[in-house]
Amino acid sequence: MSVVTTTTNAATTTWLDRVGRANLVMMGLLLAAFLAVGYPWMWKQFGPWGFSAKHMEDWGHAYLVPLICIFYIWKRRDQFAALPVGSCWTGLPMMLMGLMCYFFFTVGFSNHMFQGFSLVLTLAGLVLTVLGPAIFKASFFPIAFLGFAVTISEMVMNKVTWGLKLLASEGGFAMLNMMGVETELVGGNRLDIWLPAEGIYHPLHVAEACSGMRMVVAFIALAVAMAFISCDKWWKRIALIELAIPVALLMNIVRVAVLGLMVRYVNPDLADGNAHTIIGTILLVPSLAFFFFCAWLLDRIVVDEAPERAKGGGST
């Protein structure tokens, strides 16, 4: 009976008991202050008239980022519960640096992107200060992953992804011609599609939405989430993450080709309007399925040698 009682008491010593009342109070106050300070940015990002809502096809994935972080922590709740908890004042400079950067990019040089990254830095410092290095190390991924919820500025994305825009145009041009649709590539980012019935070329502008610019961030976020949630080895995670940009580029090439086919065989007016968004949304489904397939394949093509050796040693 005494053994059972001791075991039961140890099991009922929860993580909250080990944190302590003082740390819980400090954690609650700092978290409330963090939410109060960051609320204007969060509203501008996630509110009904924020970046994610107004540009759902571009930055709608930001709504899923906090949910993925919560799922990651919940999936490893037993691991977190076993970690030591304690205040670590070395996190205070990190938290103060994040706050200073946030106020600078709010009052001094207003920039929504850097405001968001400053809040992520502040949260990292808060976790390290209140919960200690063990919890901070275990929660580093979900904290860093919150950066994918930040809308990247147009200037930065245009510079980074200009090459993808040209590749999407060239890939769509090649694919359409291979399918028998006479197409001319003009200026690197415009396709002129021959319409036999009218006897003219109809222009299809490869807009930013079809350049890989928007999809790259969402695909990298998806790949990183799947890599850290479903893969246990670093080389598998890296392999899955490296697929993000090629898959995003391939999907954009397919999107351009599908738009070209619709211009040629359905209605030339589909070159403009909401067709870009609709086709892109539809293509996200096979893209997601492809990532799941790659994660499944990585788990099965490689057999861990340690268990096999253990089996061999046992049989001997």
pLDDT in tens, 68-95: 999 999 999 889 888 888 888 889 999 9
Give per-residue pLDDT as tens, 150-195.
998 888 887 877 778 888 888 889 999 999 888 888 877 788 888 8
Provide the pLDDT for residue 14.
65
Provide the pLDDT for residue 10.
44
Counting other chains too, the contacts that 13-21 makes at CB distance below 8 Å and 24 or more residues apart are 14/81, 15/80, 15/81, 15/85, 18/84, 18/85, 19/85, 19/131, 20/85
Provide the pLDDT for residue 234.
84
Question: Helix, strand or coil for residue 290?
Answer: helix
Provide the pLDDT for residue 254.
85
Low-confidence ranges of the chain (pLDDT < 50): 1-12, 307-311, 314-316
Identity of residue 20: G
Provide the pLDDT for residue 123.
95
Provide the pLDDT for residue 277.
67
CA dihedral for 182, 187, 190, 192, sign (positive or negative): negative
The DSSP bridge partners found for residue 203 are: 192
Please count the other Cβ atoms lying within 10 Å of the Cβ belonging to residue 136. 22
Using alpha carbons, select from 257, 167, 160 the residue that is nearest to residue 211. Answer: 167
Provide the pLDDT for residue 214.
65
